[in-house]
Amino acid sequence: MKIAVLGAGSWGTTVASLVAPRHHTVLWARNPEVAKAVTVDHANPDYLPGFTLARELAATADLGEAVCAADLVVIGVPTSGFRRVLEEVADHLRPWAPVVSLSKGLERGTHLRMTEVIKEVVPGHPVAALTGPNIATEIMSGKAAAAVIATEDLEVASAIQKVFTRGVFRVYLNHDVVGCEMGGALKNVIAIAAGIGEGLGVGDNTRAAVMSRGLAELTRLGVAMGAQPATFAGLAGMGDLIATCMSPHSRNRAVGEQLGRGRRLEDILAEMHMVAEGVKTATVALELAERHRLDLPICTMIDGVVKGEIEPSGAYWGLTPAGHENEPG
């Protein structure tokens, strides 16, 4: 199978390197120097320093070249540029080629999930999302991990599962696309909250409370949008939430931790190579919550913090709300 992976960040590069030994794989990098490093040096020092990529993996800075012969297209660019990249490759896609999203977020303004953006820009293509607790550097190190392919197309699901499953990286199927994508997007907001707690030194008990209440929040919003509750107890929900909130490799957790230590958001983001999706997702989550008449206290607090309206040190009490919510749910 010929596969095109669009986006040479840490996760896009990892996925491309993972499938390249068994499938003809081309990675698209916006920066020609990154494309050259991947093809010639089998490395991506900007996003995966110290790791050697599959020798079979080739890269290009030409979008059309990357996708024109692809049987499967995988998109791992940030949500802010997702639609633009799709529009640029639309005329080059083979009519029947499935399109898989690696991006975990929601489009600002439209509130669309990434598979919905795919359907809108390139209608007629089978769509899916690959999600779950997948820290790129751990997978590159050969550590065991599990992911979920979310799609409503049973035939496509089975085919894509076989493409991505390799060794100790296992892929499971889930037909609840809404739940899987909402879990992947909203956990980034909760991870910022968990990171703030780490930066403030609040302790594990408090951070555990924030994570569990955060899971309840994202479940309420996901279910209101048509997701299945059980999805949020699985890899795409609780699994991804735990990894993102706890891992020192998590970008969103790192942003929260620096905020908790008193640093300005602008300075934190300026130092980062990669995008912390939760910074923008908080606002979109609140807009969706308003539409569905839901109260999301943690998302509300994080939205205020990233907008500079609330100081992290003074806001953290609001991340563990008391008195107006009951367990469970």
128 forms beta bridges with: 100
Of 2, 187, 280, 307, catalytic: 187
H and E: helices and strands count for the chain: 15, 8
DSSP assignments along 22-49, one per residue: TSEEEEE-SSHHHHHIIIIIS--TTTST
> Which stretch of 104-113, 164-173, 198-207 has the lowest confidence by average pLDDT?
198-207
Q: Mean per-residue pLDDT for 170-183?
A: 97
Query: In whole angstroms, what is the distance from residue 40 CA to residue 274 CA?
Result: 23
> Which residue blocks in 37-176 are alpha helix, DSSP H?
63-67, 79-89, 114-121, 136-140, 154-164
Position 89 pLDDT exceeds 50? yes
SS3 208: helix
Please identify which residue in the block is written with the tokens 């997948």.
Answer: 134
Task: Tell me the pLDDT band of 203, cut-offs 50, 70 and 90.
Answer: confident
What is the rounded CA–CA span in Å between residue 50 and residue 29? Answer: 19
> What integer pLDDT is reported at residue 156 of this predicted model?
87
Q: Is 187 noted as a catalytic residue in this protein?
A: yes
Please give the Cα distance from 242 to 228 (Å, whole number). Answer: 19
- What is the per-residue pLDDT for 324? 47
Among the ranges given (167-176, 245-254, 274-283), the one the predictor scored with the smallest mean pLDDT: 274-283
In contact, 18 and 169? CB cutoff 8 Å:
yes
pLDDT of the residue at 323:
43
- Name the most confidently modeled range: 31-35, 271-275, 278-282: 31-35
Q: What pLDDT is attached to residue 229?
A: 97
Mean per-residue pLDDT for 54-77?
Answer: 96
Of the candidate ranges 118-132, 196-210, 221-235, the one whose mean pLDDT is the lowest:
196-210
State mean pLDDT over 165-174: 94
Calculate mean pLDDT across residues 282-305.
93
Q: Is 172 exposed, middle or buried (0-12, 13-18, 19+ CB in 10 A)?
A: middle
Q: Give the pairing type, strands 2-6 and 24-28.
A: parallel
Average pLDDT across the chain, whole number:
92
Q: How confident is the model at residue 319 (pLDDT cuts 50, 70, 90)?
A: low
pLDDT surpassing 90 at residue 318:
no
| pTM across the whole model | 0.92
Query: What's residue 327's pLDDT?
Result: 56
Give me the pLDDT at residue 34, please. Answer: 97
pLDDT at 82 over 90: yes
Closest CA to 152 of 205, 188, 116, 189: 116
What pLDDT is stored for residue 325 in this prediction?
A: 52
- pLDDT at residue 326 in the model: 57
Q: In terms of C-beta distances under 8 Å and separation of at least 24 residues, what long-range contacts does 170-174 make, across chains too?
A: 170/144, 170/145, 170/146, 171/130, 171/146, 171/147, 172/146, 172/147, 172/148, 172/235, 173/148, 173/149, 174/148, 174/149, 174/150, 174/231, 174/234, 174/236
- Residue 256, both tokens: 């929260």
- pLDDT average, residue stretch 273-282: 85
Going by pLDDT thresholds of 50, 70 and 90, the confidence category of residue 312 is: confident
Mean pLDDT within 14-35: 97
Residue 57: closest CA among 130, 135, 3, 137: 3
Delineate the domains of the chain, giving CATH numbers in brackets: 2-175 (3.40.50.720), 180-319 (1.10.1040.10)
Whether the predicted pLDDT of 173 surpasses 80: yes
129: left (phi over 0), alpha (psi -120 to 50) or beta: beta
Average pLDDT over residues 51-68: 96
